[in-house]
């Protein structure tokens, strides 16, 4: 089947893209409201795109009526946010944070989570997350119904048991983030396998005289 993205409706593009590009990691983004309340919202249009500088990207759509979500308003006002990674221990709380509530509702408390102060930004991180990244806005790219947020990671909090004994690499026994597939289907990283590169020498015979 063929799909001309210049002709099909946005909801059809969304269905196709999110069904076939996956799994997509989930950022449980925390910000501060104008009144100082904690705001938390899950984002599955999220990933890391650079380490130098350390850049993560969020894609946040407007509400159906075209108004901006609380997370976007808070990010525009403060220039800061925190990305909290999600594992099975806080998966249910993540869904609660995705419910549409009034801007003055503390979604962190509503979800039964705990907020901790950050080191370099005013927004608060979640005590229960295996990993939290403090971010400052690097730039915003605005579209009619979506804003792309580029954030520079300025500080990272990692639960000690999520790292190996040397504190260098992730411990896959304890750090098992979940990611979104299609619709309400998710996946966790508890099934991992090692797959090193075969090396050029092992496939050189396939290339003939090209190398």
Q: Count Cα neighbours of 176 within 13 Å in the Cβ-side half-sphere.
A: 13
Q: Per the domain annotation, does 198 fall within a domain? A: yes
DSSP, collapsed to helix, strand or coil, labels residue 116 as strand
CATH at 184: 2.30.110.10
Which band of pLDDT confidence, cut at 50, 70 and 90, is reported for residue 128? very high
Domain count, the chain: 1
Which whole-number Å values give the CA distances from 124 to 37, 87, 138, in the listed order?
10, 18, 19
Q: Whose CA is closest to 151, among 170, 134, 127, 130?
A: 134
Q: Per the domain annotation, does 3 fall within a domain? A: no
Which band of pLDDT confidence, cut at 50, 70 and 90, is reported for residue 29? very high
CA distance 64 to 59: 15
Q: Per the domain annotation, does 56 fall within a domain? A: yes
Supply the pTM of this predicted model. 0.90
For residue 203, pLDDT over 90 is answered with no
For residue 209, pLDDT over 80 is answered with no
In which domain, by residue range, is 150 found? 10-210
Q: Per the domain annotation, does 107 fall within a domain? A: yes
Q: Per the domain annotation, does 1 fall within a domain? A: no
> Could you give the dihedral angle defined by the CA atoms of residues 45, 49, 54 and 58, in that order, rounded to the nearest 10 degrees?
-20
Q: Per the domain annotation, does 140 fall within a domain? A: yes
Classify strands 146-158 and 24-25 as parallel, antiparallel or unpaired.
unpaired
Give pLDDT, residue 56: 98
Compute the residue count for the chain. Answer: 211
Q: Per the domain annotation, does 139 fall within a domain? A: yes
DSSP class of 16: H
User: What's the pLDDT tens digit per position in 41-93?
Assistant: 999 999 999 999 999 999 999 998 989 999 999 999 999 999 999 999 999 99
User: What's the pLDDT tens digit per position in 135-150?
Assistant: 999 999 999 999 999 9
């Amino acid at each position: 089947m063929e799909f001309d993205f210049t002709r099909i409706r946005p909801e059809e593009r969304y269905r196709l893209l999110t069904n076939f590009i996956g799994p997509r990691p989930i950022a449980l983004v925390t910000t501060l409201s104008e009144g100082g309340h904690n705001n938390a919202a899950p984002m599955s249009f999220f990933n890391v795109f650079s380490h130098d500088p350390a850049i993560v990207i969020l894609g946040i759509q407007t509400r159906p009526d075209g108004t901006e979500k609380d997370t976007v308003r808070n990010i525009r006002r403060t220039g800061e946010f925190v990305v909290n990674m999600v594992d099975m221990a806080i998966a249910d709380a993540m869904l609660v944070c995705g419910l549409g509530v009034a801007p003055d509702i503390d979604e962190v408390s509503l979800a039964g989570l705990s907020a901790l102060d950050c080191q370099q930004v005013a927004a608060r991180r979640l005590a229960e997350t295996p990993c939290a990244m403090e971010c400052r806005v690097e730039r915003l790219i605005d579209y009619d119904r979506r804003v792309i947020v580029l954030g520079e990671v300025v500080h990272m909090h990692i639960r000690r048991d999520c790292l190996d004994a040397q504190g260098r690499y992730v411990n896959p026994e304890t750090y098992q983030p979940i990611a979104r597939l299609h619709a309400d289907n998710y996946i966790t990283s508890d099934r991992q396998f090692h797959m090193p590169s075969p090396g050029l020498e092992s496939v050189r015979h396939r290339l003939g005289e090209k190398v």
